[in-house]
């Protein structure tokens, strides 16, 4: 079997990392992969040994050059399946190209933002099957009129073997300029509005009153950084918030964190939450999108209403003060990932889906 994958993201995190896991697993079981990606992208370099790499330039979602390039690539490579993984034009032109070339197609949708009824009809009906990475996203598509038989749920996953690291406090404290024994609460997400960093900042004063020996760490990059730094100064938090940027060593970082918070207003599933659970750390998140599928209330963390600052602060304080409860939540999270979010499970489900479409 030969599968042509389309992933136009440039960086190897989030959805692109899931594509790498999939291609690596499919390659291991003898499926031939072709990866269409942006020139110079990290995923293209990472997948060079497990896929034939085809670089296609594209500018924005409606750049027709992507359609032309995809049709040429499909006719040259002759795949059995076309699998579009990202937005940035892949979810639009990928379906059209597959139809024009008479090839079965799959789209994996990773976000839960609503779309217009017209766009839903024009986009998703072109694919033979739409995969959602969470039940939350699946429900969004069903509510917008996509037929239930057309949608399949296959969760995102995490590479458990990478998250067997032990805490290394001396390195961690030196790396992030922390005081010895200082507690840490982190958000691991792009610095964009819908990830909800501002809700943690709004509750910071209350949290610090209960746990003064505490630092907040924001992992990630994005357009909201300057605005968040300005808010930190306005709240007198500039010495309490570390902007750590994007890190590719989260398996080493995560075991040292006391707590990971995800106060997002919208979220497809949250790969950083799977990584946190795999590392055995407790979490507090908003009851939004697919977050409740990873953070199970009272099992491996707490859920709060989206945008509700008081509840967010109270749950953070509770887990910081009750270390025994926090450790129990962390152990439960690791078990959850092992049983429900493993790479072999995802690979076998995609194999089954491809086989069904070809039959």
Q: Which pLDDT value is given to residue 111? A: 83
Residues 6, 137, single domain; the answer is yes
Residues 135, 208, single domain; the answer is no
Residues 150, 59, single domain; the answer is yes
Contact criterion met (CB below 8 Å) for 294 and 304 = no
Span 115-139, pLDDT tens digits:
888 888 888 999 999 999 989 899 9
Residues 224, 151, single domain; the answer is no
DSSP string, 215-269: EEEEE---TTHHHHHHHHHHTT-TTTEEEEE--S-HHHHGGG-SEEEE--SS-SS
Q: How many domains, in total, are found in the chain?
A: 2
Residue 97 neighbours by CB distance under 10 Å: 28
Residues 142, 233, single domain; the answer is no
CATH number at residue 143: 3.40.50.2000
51 pLDDT above the threshold of 80: yes
Residues 175, 235, single domain; the answer is yes
Q: Which pLDDT value is given to residue 60? A: 64
Distances in Å between the alpha carbon of 100 and those of 225, 273, 354? 43, 39, 19
Span 4-22, pLDDT tens digits:
999 988 888 778 889 999 9
Residues 335, 346, single domain; the answer is no
Percent of the chain with pLDDT over 90: 80
Contact criterion met (CB below 8 Å) for 191 and 197 = yes
- Residue 41 CA to residue 170 CA, distance in Å, equals 34
Span 217-240, pLDDT tens digits:
999 999 999 999 999 999 999 999
- 2: which strand partners? 32
What is the residue-averaged pLDDT of the chain? Answer: 94
Strands of 301-304's sheet in order across:
241-245, 214-219, 183-188, 259-262, 283-286, 301-304
pTM of the model: 0.80
Q: 142 is in which domain, residue-wise?
A: 2-157+342-358
User: Which of 23-32, 50-59, 250-259, 306-315 shows the lowest mean pLDDT across its residues?
Assistant: 50-59
Residues 185, 126, single domain; the answer is no
- 131: which strand partners? 108, 152
Residues 178, 96, single domain; the answer is no
Residues 216, 176, single domain; the answer is yes
Residues 17, 144, single domain; the answer is yes
Span 258-297, pLDDT tens digits:
999 999 998 988 889 999 999 999 999 999 988 999 999 9
Helical ranges in the chain per DSSP H? 15-28, 42-46, 64-77, 90-101, 117-124, 135-143, 169-175, 197-210, 225-234, 250-253, 271-278, 309-321, 323-340, 343-358
Pull the structure tokens for residue 216: 């907040």
DSSP letter assigned to residue 297: B
- The pLDDT confidence band at residue 164, using thresholds 50, 70 and 90, is confident
Residues 193, 332, single domain; the answer is yes
| pLDDT: which is higher, 206 or 116 | 206
- The pLDDT confidence band at residue 37, using thresholds 50, 70 and 90, is very high
Give the mean model confidence (pLDDT) for residues 106-114: 89
Span 52-97, pLDDT tens digits:
999 998 766 677 888 999 999 999 999 999 999 977 778 889 999 9
């Amino acid at each position: 079997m030969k599968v042509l994958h389309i992933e136009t993201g440039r960086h190897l995190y989030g959805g692109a990392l899931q594509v790498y896991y999939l291609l690596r697993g499919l390659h291991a079981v003898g499926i031939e992969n072709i990866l269409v990606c942006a020139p110079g992208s990290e995923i293209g370099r990472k997948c060079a040994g497990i896929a034939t790499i085809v670089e296609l330039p594209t500018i924005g979602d409606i750049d027709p050059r992507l359609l032309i390039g995809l049709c040429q690539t499909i006719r040259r490579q002759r795949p059995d399946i076309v699998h579009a993984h990202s937005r940035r034009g892949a979810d639009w032109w990928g379906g059209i190209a597959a139809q024009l070339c008479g090839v079965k197609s799959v789209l994996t949708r990773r976000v839960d933002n609503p779309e217009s009824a017209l766009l839903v009809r024009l986009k998703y009906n072109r694919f033979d099957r739409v995969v959602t990475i969470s039940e939350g996203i699946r429900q969004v598509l069903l509510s917008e009129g996509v037929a239930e038989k057309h949608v399949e749920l296959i969760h995102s996953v995490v590479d458990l073997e990478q998250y067997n690291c032990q805490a290394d406090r001396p390195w961690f404290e030196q790396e992030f300029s922390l005081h010895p024994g200082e507690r840490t609460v982190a958000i691991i997400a792009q610095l964009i509005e819908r990830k909800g960093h501002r809700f943690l900042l709004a509750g910071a004063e209350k949290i610090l009153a209960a746990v003064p020996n505490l630092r907040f760490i924001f992992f990630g990059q994005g357009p909201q950084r300057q605005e968040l730094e300005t808010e930190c100064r306005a709240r007198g938090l500039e010495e309490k918030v570390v902007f750590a940027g994007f890190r590719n060593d989260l398996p080493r970082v995560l075991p040292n964190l006391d707590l990971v918070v995800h106060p997002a207003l919208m979220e497809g599933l949250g790969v950083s939450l799977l990584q946190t659970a795999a590392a055995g750390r407790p979490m507090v998140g908003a009851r939004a999108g697919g977050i409740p599928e990873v953070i199970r209330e009272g099992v491996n963390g707490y859920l709060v209403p989206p945008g509700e600052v008081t509840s967010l602060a109270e749950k953070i304080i509770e887990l910081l003060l009750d270390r025994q409860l926090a450790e129990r939540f962390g152990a439960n999270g690791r078990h959850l990932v092992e049983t429900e979010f493993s790479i072999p499970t995802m690979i076998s489900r995609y194999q089954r889906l491809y086989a069904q479409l070809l039959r």
